[in-house]
Amino acid sequence: MNGSKQTPARLARWIVPRAVALAAALSLTSAAAVPAPEPIKIGVIGEASSVAGASITAAAQMAADDINAHGGVNGRQIEVIVYDDHSSAADAVRAFQRAATEDKVSAVIGSYISEVALAIEPWSGRLKVPFITPGAASTDISKHVHDDYAQYKYTFHGWLTSAFIAQSICDFDKDTIVKDFHAKTTVIMSEDAAWTTPLDARYEDCLPKAGLKVLDHIRFNPDTTDFTPIFNKIEGEHPDIITTGISHVGVQPTVQWHDQRVPIAMDGQSSQATTSSFWKDTNGDAEGVITATAAAPGVAVTPFTNPFTEAYTKKNGVSPSYCGYTSYDDVHIIADAIKRAGSTDPDKMVDALEKTHYVGTIGTVEFYGRDDLYTHALKYGPGLVTGSFIQWQNGKQVTIWPRAIANGKISFPAAIKTPHS
Amino acid sequence: MNHLLRSRLLWVTAALVIVAAVLPWWLTAYILGVLTGAYYFGVFAMSWDLLFGFAGEVNFGPTFLIGLGAYTAAILDNAYGVPIPLCVLAGALAAVIGGVLLAMPALRLRGPYFGLVTLVAVLLLQNAVVIFAAVTGGEIGMTVPNVLSIDPRVNYWYALAFLVVSGIILYGLSRSAMGLILQASGQDATEAAALGFNVTKHKLAAFCISAFFSGIAGALLVMYMGAASVGTVIDIALGVQIIISAVLGGRRTILGAALGAVALICATEALRPLGQWNTFVVSALALAVIIFFPDGLLGHVLRAGERE
Amino acid sequence: MTTALQILVDGFAISAIYALAAVGFTLMFGVSGVLNLSHGGIMVIAAIIGWWAAGQLGLGTYGGTIVGILAGLAAAYLTYFVVVRPIQASRKIPREETEIFLLTGTLLWGIMIQVGMAALFSDNPVTIRPLIDGVVNVFGVRTPKNEIMIAAVCWIVIGLLWLLINRTRVGKSMLAASINPRGLTLLGFELSRIYFLVWSIYGTLAGIAGVLLASFLGVSTANAGQLTASAFSIVVLGGLGSVSGSLLAAFVVGYLETITAYLINPTLRPVPALLLLVLVVYLRPQGLLGRR
């Protein structure tokens, strides 16, 4: 500042006329130039402090960048607006409301926690904003759409619903654990959460049909930190394998399973085990853990899988967790729907989304229709999306099923006793 | 001097209320929603300040009372379809009963023990809600079929009206004879007792009043949001925010608590683009305020007035 | 029979860690009158930094453990200088309200630690590799050797602490400070040095507890609040300011929880201890071994 005393009033007298002139000049120039087409805004709600939630937003941003590099959608760029919901349903609803009414997004991709997705769902209907969840699994999400189509049609389920996750695990068990390892009994171990209620119900139904008798069914509080009593109880019942349904927990039960040398293998769904940082977080105790997932490094579920995995890992230092794959696909699916609909009108978008036939990183994406039980859920089956199964071996996720894309064989660490051995 | 100050306070408050009342014609539905929540929060904070600022009792679990009010109203509406005003009243009653059950033995305890009991009460209520999940919806929470209104402006005015009425009553109480006795017992219980006042009876009364308002506010909040869950009405973190609001606004001013609550909610919302870091920044700011301006925002202004 | 033995062994390990966490907390209150509600946060810092040093910085398990304990110590100092001392020294806060401000201040500080650490390291639980790997047979119960080592370390540390307080001059001056700070100053002791010592001991205890917990069960930033509440409850149960009381209460709570988890239902684990706490506070508010 120069030495002379500048009182606020004198300063104002100096600045104001110049500011007005500058503003006028700018507005003239911008009015003269052709205005850039308005970007298409997509809101992404994720849990920034959780590994899975962080992958939702990172993958979505990558997808937007990819689409924009290829010219955007109908000449319009995609703009991703990120919201952190602090793993709270109330915060997520607030974020959704803000995205819809303040930031005026055309669609929202949100959360891998079923409780959060279920809280957002009615608001997508009230505010008429299409909403896809890339990771939540509860069957209620799509059941609501089936039961009250007019109100809930704006919600789509971007990952396999719990019932199909369980079915895929039963199919996997029948083809490998039962066939090759002669397992006959199992204990179900799952966290008490919205997504596991339908999961466990399906487990109880399909596991016996796959050849595994269910000896017991343990549901524990998601805030559990000490799993010793649970493992001791399971061991006392001598099952051949433990079928898991865990997402909120993962590191702690796995580490304790290893430290206590529990001699029973674990397979099923362990969401935290789907990301590459899991090996580091468990200090390698994940050896031998099997989980269902969307895709894994090194395996081409579709021609798009590997390029995405490599690019994501290069940028973020870890491989995408299962909802990273789906989030990446969901942005493309939304863009594709907008292109086909020719507009961002919510009802037209819903019509276009229902007709989705998109080859993404996880398989070919189609949604169930109005007359199906799980309306707007991801279609499950060969040729569509089946998910894949990985086992942690020596620090790597080895894909062991479906056999067509497997790049390794199942191998259990020495401490595990299977009937075969 | 005091009289002049009070009436200045009166005019400023009246002006603020009028401004707040006309905001719906200027603001978007979303921001109105944020403010509506903030006003209910303001009542939580004011009820807490009556108890703490005056009776000197640190209640670590205001959410125990709020939760009782909220869940009672929600269960009645959900299961029996009771009309909303009755639900709210029932919620208030439940909170008062719960408050009395908690306070009567607890007020005999001194120092941190009272605080601990209130904290444990919250934990027990949380566990009870989870255990009786069939009725309460467990950790996921429950939705309420009837809401106060679906118009954000109407909801906003309801909340504002409730805030103003509660503020007037609570402030009036704090300035009344009872309030002064409470203040005396809060600062020096032995001396107050020596002067012949029944300290315990007055503290119990303060607790009941605090519970009453907390209960109503909790019930109304549920009726506004259309949902109740452990995370929104029985969380310890929520209790912490209430305490911070009251201290931030200025203890023993009642109105300061409402101010602090609105400021806290608006700050958190304004910092939303920071993502994960907004809670950190707000907490850091609050910490700085209580270290450097322990009298709080309003308290600082009032004390400065007194020193003139 | 096996279940009873399992409960015995499992409960012992968890009680030992509870005891270590609680002893530091009660010492802090007893000597300097501070109820540090960011206690869980300090343990979390020790655990996460320990994990980070062991794995990411490549220092190995032992190196990581030591770094973790030092991190706990540093966090304790930070807490003292940033939060506690300004509040205690402030002239604007009336004497009788210092306690409230300390509670609120340390509570806020605890939230800052939790959110800050989650932003830096994610809220995923972290574990420190066992210092001794492998399992051993104890009364027919297959027990990880690490678990036994943890219990042993806890008791050794507690024993050392007892020696420090009761047998050394420095320790006795701490005890005296808890009873009559002013009297001590008159005798020529520097109170600030004693407070510094208490915070050093506190930080070390919290650091060790955090690191051992990470090794035994795993720790995440989401546990911070729960760890503080747990330590607070145990300390009140045992008697605020009484070290032996905290030890006793830690075992009572540890075993109550373990028995509930094994015999009743893992979901109801925290409930009996909470109910006991309520009973004790109403019937005998000074705690099991506290002095009125």
CA A312 remoteness from chain centre: 15
* CB-CB neighbours of A193 under 10 Å: 23
What pLDDT, on a 0 to 100 scale, did the predictor assign at position A2?
Answer: 45
Percent of chain A scored above 90 by pLDDT? 56
CA distance A123 to C287: 50
Integer Cα distance of B134 and C269 in angstroms? 20
* DSSP tag of A74: T
Distance of alpha carbon C60 from its chain centroid, rounded? 25
**Pairs across A and C, CB distance < 8 A:** 85
Domains in chain C: boundaries? 2-283
Per-residue confidence at A420, pLDDT binned at 50, 70, 90? Answer: low
H/E segment holding residue B38 = helix B29-49
- A252/C127 CB distance under 8 A: yes
Q: Where does the pLDDT of residue C291 fall: very low under 50, low under 70, confident under 90, or very high at 90 and above?
A: low
What does the block give as tokens for B17?
């209320």
Give the C-alpha separation, C12 to B103, whole Å.
36
- Rounded Cα gap, residues A121 and A130, in angstroms: 10
User: Are B279 and C278 a contacting pair at CB < 8 A?
Assistant: no
CB contact under 8 A, A251 and C125: yes
Smallest CA–CA separation between B179 and chain A, in Å?
A: 36
Phi, psi torsion values for A190, nearest 5 degrees: -140, 155
Residue A4 pLDDT greater than 60, yes or no: no
Which residues have C-beta within 8 Å of that of residue A15, sequence separation ≥ 6?
none
How do residues A228-242 score in pLDDT, each as one tens digit? Answer: 889 988 998 999 999
Residue A6 above 70 pLDDT?
A: no
Strand order in the sheet with A40-46: A78-84, A40-46, A107-110, A131-133, A155-157
Chain C: give the shortest CA distance to residue B150, in Å: 34
Q: Per residue in B211-261, pLDDT tens?
A: 999 999 999 988 887 778 787 788 877 888 888 888 888 887 888 889 899
- Label the pairing between strands A358-359 and A364-365: antiparallel
Residue B276 to residue A49, Cβ atoms within 8 A: yes
* pLDDT tens per residue, range A362-394: 999 999 998 888 999 999 988 899 889 999 999
In whole angstroms, how large is the CA radius of gyration of chain C? Answer: 19
Residue C227 distance to chain B (closest CA, Å)? 14
In angstroms, what is the C-alpha Rg of chain B?
Answer: 19
Please report the pLDDT score of residue C74 as a whole number.
Answer: 96
pLDDT in tens, C172-194: 777 777 666 666 666 666 777 78
- The whole-number pLDDT of residue A364 equals 94
DSSP C106-172: HHHHHHHHHHHHHHHH-S--B-PPPSS-SEEEETTEEEEHHHHHHHHHHHHHHHHHHHHHHHSHHHH
pLDDT in tens, C202-239: 999 999 999 999 998 889 998 888 888 888 888 888 88
Q: How confident is the model at residue A421, as a pLDDT?
A: 44
Split at pLDDT 50, 70, 90, the class of C114 is very high
- Predicted pLDDT at C15: 92
Environment class of B272 (CB within 10 Å of its CB; exposed 0-12, middle 13-18, buried 19+):
middle
Backbone angles phi, psi at A364, to 5 degrees: -95, 120
Residue B282 contacts C where some CB pair is shorter than 8 Å: no
Q: Count H helices, E strands: chain C? A: 12, 2
Half-sphere exposure (CA, 13 Å, Cβ side) for C28? 29
CB proximity list for A310: less than 8 A, separation 6 or greater:
A297
| CB proximity under 8 Å: A 241-270 to C | 249, 251-252, 255-256, 259-261
Spans of chain B below 70 pLDDT: 1-6, 53-55, 110-112, 139-140, 185-193, 196-197, 303-308
| Cβ-based contacts of A318 with chain C (< 8 Å) | none
Which H or E run includes A131? strand A131-133
The one-letter code for the residue type at B73 is: A
> For residue A41, how far is the Cα from the chain centroid?
20
| Any B CB within 8 A of C74 CB | no
Q: Helix, strand, or coil here: B143?
A: strand
| Confidence band, pLDDT 50/70/90 cuts, at residue A288 | very high
Q: Are the C-beta atoms of residues C215 and C192 closer than 8 Å to each other?
A: no
What whole-number distance in Å separates Cα of residue A27 and Cα of residue A276? Answer: 50
A171 phi and psi, to 5 degrees? -60, -40
Of the candidates C14, B133, C137, C24, the one whose C-alpha atom is nearest the C-alpha of residue A224 is C14
Domain C2-283 has CATH 2.40.128: no
Q: Which element (helix H / strand E) includes A163?
A: helix A162-173
Residue with tokens 């433990």: A242
pLDDT at B52: 77
Candidate from A49, A84, A90 with C-beta closest to B232: A90
Task: Summarize pLDDT for C63-105 with one digit per residue, the tens.
Answer: 899 999 999 999 999 999 999 999 888 888 877 778 878 888 8
Report strand pairing: C135-138 vs B227-228: unpaired
Interface of A with B in 84-113 (CB under 8 A): 84, 86, 88-90, 94-95, 97-98, 101-102
| Full-model pTM | 0.84
Neighbours of C179 (CB within 10 A): 11
**E strands of B98-247, at which residues?**
142-143, 227-228
User: Rounded to 5 degrees, what are φ and ψ at A222?
Assistant: -60, -15
Q: Which residues in chain A are closer than 8 Å to C124, comparing Cβ atoms? A: 50-51, 251, 272, 277, 281
Kindly report the backbone phi and psi dihedral angles of residue C119, in degrees, each rounded to the nearest multiple of 5, phi listed first. Answer: -65, -35
- pLDDT at residue B3 in the model: 63
* Residue C241 buriedness (CB in 10 A; 0-12 / 13-18 / 19+): buried
pLDDT 10s digits, A267-287: 999 999 998 889 988 888 999
Report the run of H or E that residue A45 belongs to, with start and end: strand A40-46
Report which of residues A336 and A85 the model is more confident about: A336
What's the pLDDT at A14?
59
- Report the C-alpha gap between A122 and A154 in whole angstroms: 9
SS3 helix, strand, coil % of chain B, rounded to 5? Answer: 80, 0, 15
Of A86, A90, A98, the CB nearest to B30: A98
Q: How many residues does chain A have?
A: 421
**Nearest-by-Cβ selection for A97 from B30, B229, B276:** B30
* CB contacts, 8 Å: C130 with chain A: 259
Choosing among B27, B30, B277, which should be mutated to test the A contact, i.e. which has the most A CBs within 10 A? B30
pLDDT higher than 70, residue A19: no
At residue A3, the pLDDT reads 43
Q: What are the backbone dihedrals phi and psi of residue C274, each rounded to the nearest 5 degrees, phi first?
A: -65, -45
Question: What integer pLDDT is reported at residue C287 of this predicted model?
Answer: 77
**pLDDT of A1 higher than 50:** no
* Secondary structure (3-state) at A399: strand
CA dist list (Å): B270 to A318, B266, B267: 32, 6, 5
Residue C7 has pLDDT above 90, yes or no: no
**What percent of chain A is modeled with pLDDT above 70?**
91
Q: Is C272 on the interface with B (CB under 8 A)?
A: no
Average of per-residue pLDDT across C261-267? 80
Could you tell me if C83 lies within 8 Å of chain B, comparing CB atoms? yes
Among candidates C32, C29, C25, which has minimal Cα distance to C196?
Answer: C32
Determine contact, residues B223/B133, Cβ cutoff 8 Å: no
Band of residue A291 on the pLDDT scale cut at 50, 70, 90:
very high
**What is the residue-averaged pLDDT of chain C?**
85
> In DSSP terms, which residues pair with A396 in a beta bridge?
A393
**Contact status of C197 with chain B (Cβ, < 8 Å):** no
Which chains have 3 or more CB–CB distances shorter than 8 Å to chain B? A, C
Euclidean distance between CA atoms B229 and A191, whole angstroms = 19
Nearest residue to B89 (alpha-carbon basis) of B79, B102, B106, B76: B76
d(CA C128, CA C53): 10
Q: Which chain C positions have a beta carbon within 8 Å of B284's beta carbon?
A: 108, 112
* Strand order through the sheet with A388-393: A290-293, A388-393, A396-401
Roughly how many angstroms between the first and final C-alpha of chain A, as a whole number?
83
Average pLDDT, chain A: 87
**pLDDT score of A305:** 92
- Give the gap in angstroms from C-alpha A227 to the nearest C-alpha of chain C: 8
Scan residues 154-193 of C and list those with Cβ closer than 8 Å to B: none
Is there a contact between C38 and C106 (Cβ–Cβ < 8 Å)? yes
Is any Cβ of chain B less than 8 angstroms from the Cβ of C279? Answer: no
Q: Which of A50, A192, A261 sits opposite C122 (nearest CB)?
A: A50
Instruction: State the pLDDT confidence band at A7, using cuts at 50, 70 and 90.
Output: low
